[in-house]
Amino acid sequence: MNNRWWILSAALGVVLAAVLCLPRFASAQAPSSTSTKPTGISAGAKSKTPPASNTKPWTVPRTPDGHPDLHGYYNFLTVTPMERPAKYGNREFLTPEETQEVFRTGLQSAFEPRDGDEVHYGNELFNPNSVDYDPTTFGLSPWQNGIKPNPRTSLVVDPPDGHIPPRTTAAQSARVLAAEVTASGNINLAGSRAGTVVQGHGYVTDDHNGGGIVHADVPLDLGYGTTCVSPGGGPPIFPAEYNADMYILQTHDTVVLQGVNGYRVIPLDGRAHFSANFHQWQGNGVGHWEGDTLVVETTNFRPDDTYRGANAKTLKITERFTRISADTIEYKFTIDDPATWTKPWSVILPLSAEKGPMFEFACSEDDYDAVNILAGARAAEKKTSEVPISQK
Amino acid sequence: MSRSQPNRARDIPAVLFVTAVALFLLVTVNPVAGQAPAGAGAKAPTTTEAARGAAAAAKAPTAGQFRPYKAPRTPDGKPDLNGIWQAFVTADIDVQDHDAQAGPHPDIMGAYGAWPGGQGIVEGGEIPYKPEALAKKKENAEKRMLVNITSDDHRHDTGDPELKCYTPGVPRANYMPFPFQIIQGPDRIMIAYEFARSLRTVYMNANDKTIPQEPPADTWMGWSSGHFEGDTLVVDSKGFLPYTWFDRAGDYHSDALHVVERYTQVSPYHIMYEATIEDPNVFTRPWKMSFPLYRRMEKGIQLVDFNCTEFVLDLLYGQYSKYPKK
Kindly calculate the radius of gyration of chain A based on its CA atoms and give it in whole angstroms. 26
Better pLDDT: A139 or B284: B284
In this complex, which of A251, A364, A368 lies closest to B184 when CB atoms are compared?
A251
What pLDDT, on the 0 to 100 scale, is given for residue A316? Answer: 98
pLDDT confidence of B269, banded at 50, 70, 90?
Answer: very high
Task: Give the chain A residue nearest B313 (alpha carbons).
Answer: A219
Euclidean distance between the first and final Cα of chain B, in Å? 109
Q: Are residues A226 and A261 in the same domain?
A: no
Q: Are residues B41 and B104 in the same domain?
A: no
In DSSP notation, B252-274 reads B--TT-EEEEEEEEEETTEEEEE
Q: Are residues A343 and A269 in the same domain?
A: yes
What pLDDT, on the 0 to 100 scale, is given for residue A181? Answer: 56
Contact A280 B304 (CB under 8 A): yes
Inform me whether the C-beta atom of residue B233 falls under 8 Å from chain A C-beta atoms. no
pLDDT confidence of B170, banded at 50, 70, 90?
Answer: very high
pLDDT confidence of A202, banded at 50, 70, 90?
Answer: low
Q: Are residues B122 and B21 in the same domain?
A: no
pTM of the model: 0.81
Contact A262 B197 (CB under 8 A): yes
Q: Which residues of B touch A262 (CB under 8 A)?
A: 197
Inform me whether the C-beta atom of residue A203 falls under 8 Å from chain B C-beta atoms. no
What pLDDT, on the 0 to 100 scale, is given for residue B326? Answer: 54
A150-184 in b/e burial notation, b at 16+ Cβ within 10 A?
Answer: bbbbbbbbeeeebebbebbeebeeeebebbbbbbb
Inform me whether the C-beta atom of residue A164 falls under 8 Å from chain B C-beta atoms. no
Angle, in degrees to the nearest 10, between helices A2-21 and B4-28: 20
Q: Which residues of A touch B300 (CB under 8 A)?
A: 271-272
Q: Are residues B38 and B166 in the same domain?
A: no
Q: Which residues of A touch B317 (CB under 8 A)?
A: 219, 227, 370-371, 374
pLDDT in tens, A129-172: 554 455 556 666 667 777 889 999 999 999 999 999 999 988 77
Comparing A12-16, A41-45, A335-339, the range with the smallest average pLDDT is A41-45
How many domains in chain A?
2
Task: Choose one of A186, A202, A230: the last residue of a domain.
Answer: A230
Task: Choose one of B57, B75, B92: the last residue of a domain.
Answer: B57
Does residue A3 lie within any of the structural domains? Answer: no
CB A232 within 8 A of CB A260: yes
Inform me whether the C-beta atom of residue B76 falls under 8 Å from chain A C-beta atoms. yes
Choose, out of B208, B309, B314, the residue to mutate when testing the contact with A (most A CBs < 10 Å): B309
Q: Which domain holds residue A157?
A: 75-230
What pLDDT, on the 0 to 100 scale, is given for residue B310? Answer: 94
Does residue A68 lie within any of the structural domains? Answer: no
What pLDDT, on the 0 to 100 scale, is given for residue A304? Answer: 85
Q: Which domain holds residue B50?
A: 4-57
pLDDT confidence of A36, banded at 50, 70, 90?
Answer: very low
pLDDT confidence of B17, banded at 50, 70, 90?
Answer: low
Q: Are residues B20 and B145 in the same domain?
A: no
Better pLDDT: A332 or A214: A332
* Mean of pLDDT values over B306-317: 96
Does residue A225 lie within any of the structural domains? Answer: yes
Inform me whether the C-beta atom of residue A25 falls under 8 Å from chain B C-beta atoms. no
Does residue B325 lie within any of the structural domains? Answer: no
Inform me whether the C-beta atom of residue B181 falls under 8 Å from chain A C-beta atoms. yes
Contact A22 B28 (CB under 8 A): yes
Q: Are residues A213 and A320 in the same domain?
A: no
Residue A33 has pLDDT above 70, yes or no: no
What pLDDT, on the 0 to 100 scale, is given for residue A201? Answer: 54
What pLDDT, on the 0 to 100 scale, is given for residue B323? Answer: 87
**Nearest CA to CA, how far is B126 from chain A (Å)?**
30
Choose, out of B25, B310, B312, the residue to mutate when testing the contact with A (most A CBs < 10 Å): B310
Contact A357 B17 (CB under 8 A): no
Amino acid making up residue A186 = N
Q: Which residues of A touch B324 (CB under 8 A)?
A: none
How many domains in chain B?
2
pLDDT in tens, A218-233: 998 888 888 999 887 8
What pLDDT, on the 0 to 100 scale, is given for residue A82? Answer: 92
Does residue A359 lie within any of the structural domains? Answer: no
In this complex, which of B17, B25, B216 lies closest to A18 when CB atoms are compared?
B25
% pLDDT > 70, chain B: 82
Does residue B72 lie within any of the structural domains? Answer: no
- As a whole number of angstroms, the distance between CA B167 and CA B244 comes to 8
Q: Are residues A127 and A265 in the same domain?
A: no
Residue A340 has pLDDT above 60, yes or no: yes
pLDDT in tens, A97-106: 999 999 888 8
Amino acid making up residue A122 = G
Q: What pairs with residue A186 in β-bridges?
A: A307
Contact A370 B316 (CB under 8 A): yes
Inform me whether the C-beta atom of residue A12 falls under 8 Å from chain B C-beta atoms. no
Contact A357 B304 (CB under 8 A): no
Inform me whether the C-beta atom of residue A35 falls under 8 Å from chain B C-beta atoms. no
What pLDDT, on the 0 to 100 scale, is given for residue A284? Answer: 97
pLDDT in tens, B107-145: 999 999 999 999 999 999 999 999 999 999 999 999 999
In this complex, which of B17, B24, B313 lies closest to A219 when CB atoms are compared?
B313
ipTM of the complex: 0.82
Q: Are residues A138 and A193 in the same domain?
A: yes
Q: Which helix (H) or strand (E) holds B272?
A: strand B270-278
pLDDT confidence of A107, banded at 50, 70, 90?
Answer: confident
Choose, out of A249, A257, A304, the residue to mutate when testing the contact with B (most B CBs < 10 Å): A249
Q: Are residues B254 and B139 in the same domain?
A: yes
CB B267 within 8 A of CB B66: yes
Average pLDDT, chain B: 89
Amino acid making up residue A165 = P
Does residue B195 lie within any of the structural domains? Answer: yes
